[in-house]
Homo-oligomer: A and B are copies of this chain.
Amino acid sequence: MSKIDRRKFLKSTATGALGTVAAASALSAPALAQTMPELKWRLTSSFPKSLDTIHGASDVFAKAVAEMTDNRFQVQVFAPGELVPALQAADAVTAGTVEMCHTASYYYWGKDPTFAFGTAVPFGLNVRMQNAWMYEAGGMDLMNTFYAKYNIHGLPGGNTGAQMGGWYRKEINSPDDLKGLKMRIGGFGGAVLQKLGAVPQQISGGDIYPALEKGTIDATEWVGPYDDDKLGFYKVAKYYYYPGWWEGQAMLHFFINKTKWEELPKPYQAIVRSAAHTANTIMLARYDALNAGALKRLAVSGAQLVPFSEAVLDACFKASNEVFDEISGKNADFKKVYEAMKVQRADNYLWFQLAEYTSDTFMMIQQRKKLI
């Protein structure tokens, strides 16, 4: 190639290349680069890997985000303690130390009891009602208006379903049996039980078994058959009561630093929202698929399955309403969300009595008759 030819070639190639770049610019490549940039986020979970269904919701979320963006947007999941302690996950999000966390909103009930509505409140909603409220009846907007005070944007991210009432060394036959009961339970449920004379204790997961074994505590709540079975509580406290009236469902959340959320390109916001939906459904489906097997193992191991009497539940319900009213009297945010939840609850428990409840009841009768 002569010098002249080389120049011509260079010239035409340059023009060609630049032309291509320009065309691509207008059409797609830079648009994509702007709206789908390479991004790495850190997510701190409040749940140890041993709680595999709950911790796993973060993995489901992160995997979905990575797959949907061809790995351009990666969310790295950290176990509690790797970056921040379990119960400081929300603070780390507020501060922007991490972009997001997976946590239970009610862990922060000490900052403001309004946080509780994001997860569970005593005698509140069941899973479907909580989803209906959050997604389609204004619940999520109400909570996000509140979370904004902490520079947090929240998205529902998993559910345990209705939890069990925990493990007890002695029977609870009447409300009187709650008096003096030293029980490992926190938050709202603990506040209600305290009203009834119980003594709520804060003990971290790994320390519960020895405390129960030694009799330092009389009872503990945990989650449900699948998680409880792993910790072996039935060996030291055989009465396994239900329901966990303080958690008729327990919704987990992805908390995202609000500034980071607002900076996200719209497609990534949509991807994060949708991945959270996936995690919300999958976590519950896992519990629902796993609990029955664990329940059978526990029954074989000698766990005594006992329902709380209506008298005990009545006393707890009344005490809960007192706590709701007391807090509502001094916290406007709490009152506003509580009033909204009550409307949802009354309406939903009216409707669910018909087709859902009678259908389930008939099938449970067949189950007891061993006909299914």
A158 adjacent to chain B (CB < 8 Å): no
A340 to B350, CA, bound (A): 33
Select A161's contact among B31, B133, B282, B356, beta carbons within 8 Å. B356
What is the interface residue range for chain A against chain B? 35 or more
- A293 interfacial contact with B, CB 8 Å: yes
For residue A291, CB closer than 8 A to chain B, the reply is yes
B349 & A363 in contact (Cβ 8 Å cutoff): yes
A225-B351 contact, Cβ under 8 Å, with A132-B289, A135-B281: yes
Task: Tell me if A231 counts as interface (CB < 8 A to partner B).
Answer: no
Query: Are B351's CB and A357's CB within 8 A?
Result: no
Contact with B along A347-368 (1 / 0, CB 8 A): 1111111111111111111111
- A187 CB-CB contact with B under 8 Å: no
Contact of A372 among B162, B346, B372 (CB under 8 A): B346
Q: Which residues of B contact A123 (CB under 8 A)?
A: 362-363, 366, 372
Residues B126 and A359 in contact, CB atoms below 8 Å apart? yes
Smallest CB–CB gap between A125 and chain B, Å? 9
Number of this chain's copies in the assembly equals 2
A14–B352 alpha-carbon span in the complex (Å): 69
Q: Kindly state whether residue A64 has any CB partner on chain B within 8 Å.
A: yes
A195 adjacent to chain B (CB < 8 Å): no
Q: State in angstroms the CA–CA spacing of A305 and B14 once bound together.
A: 78
- A70 proximity list for chain B (CB < 8 A): 31-32, 35-36, 265-267
A295-B351 in contact given A14-B14, A267-B67, A274-B274 (Cβ < 8 Å): yes
Question: Mask for A139-166, Cβ within 8 A of B = 1, else 0?
Answer: 0000000000000000000000111110
Q: Is the pair A135, B355 in contact by a Cβ cutoff of 8 Å? A: no
**Listed stretches A16-24, A172-180, A255-263; interface member:** A16-24
Contact digits for A326-356, partner B, Cβ 8 Å, 1 yes 0 no: 0000000000000000100111111111111
Give residues 240-256 of A contacting B (CB, 8 Å). Answer: 242-245, 248
Partner of A28, one of B38, B225, B243, B356: B38
Known: A32-B36, A292-B351. 16 other contacts (CB 8 A): A14-B18, A32-B33, A36-B36, A128-B128, A135-B282, A136-B289, A224-B355, A242-B354, A277-B278, A288-B351, A296-B350, A307-B358, A346-B367, A349-B372, A352-B360, A357-B360
Nearest 3 pairs of A and B residues by beta carbon: A14-B14, A67-B270, A292-B347
Question: What are 28 A-to-B residue pairs whose CB atoms are below 8 Å?
Answer: A7-B7, A14-B18, A17-B21, A21-B21, A32-B33, A36-B70, A68-B68, A68-B271, A70-B265, A123-B372, A128-B161, A128-B284, A131-B285, A131-B288, A132-B289, A136-B285, A164-B355, A243-B356, A243-B358, A245-B362, A271-B271, A277-B281, A296-B350, A305-B354, A346-B372, A352-B360, A353-B367, A357-B364
